[in-house]
Copies of this chain bind each other. A is one copy, B any other.
Amino acid sequence: MKTTSPGAVLVLGGARSGKSAFAEKLVAGTGLAKHYIATGRAWDEEMRERIEQHKVQRGSHGWITHEEPLALPERINDTARDDRVLLVDCLTLWVTNLMLEGHDIPAAFDDLSAAVVTAPGRLVFVSNEVGLGIVPDNKMAREFRDHAGRLHQQMAQLATEVYFVAAGLPLKMKG
């Protein structure tokens, strides 16, 4: 039995904006079984610490965690169910991983869109807004923020709710 409205939620925010904590509250509010899809790769000590901090903040109560740095659309297809809510944290780390592995980015984004549209249950996506600073010197960083910006637009169009979080406070952009 489906207990929530259909559709996906997109939670955007800056670094340490409280976006993950806000997304976790949304997830808890659904009353569905909580699945966490972590896209981050612990490639160095700092990243390992950041991932660990997120785990501590989230707590272990009732979460089932999946690590999925690349095959996010497939993982959503496999995991989503009517009685589950999936929290994907975060899209920007997924984009980073796709770039580092040389994947076809637009194709991956289309696969994700297709997965989102057909997934049962609820989906909550967290992502970093990265396009509001000075143009980066570095070409890869410029490409990254172009990809991230395009993905955010694509996901915001599919989502039934979009939030922008700053200082822990959500601003509803859609829904």
Contact = CB atoms under 8 A, between A and B. Distances in A.
A132 B165 CA distance: 11
A157 interface: yes
A168 B145 contact: no
Contact of A162 (B135, B164, B167): B167
A7 interface: no
Contact of A14 (B144, B149, B155, B168): B149
A168 B164 contact: no
6 contacts: A10-B167, A14-B131, A16-B146, A16-B152, A131-B133, A149-B167
Interface of A: 10, 12-18, 46, 129-136, 139, 141-142, 144-146, 148-150, 152-153, 155-157, 162, 164, 166-169, 171, 173-174
Given A15-B135, A18-B153, A152-B166, 10 more contacts: A12-B166, A13-B131, A14-B130, A14-B149, A15-B142, A16-B150, A17-B152, A129-B166, A132-B133, A133-B134
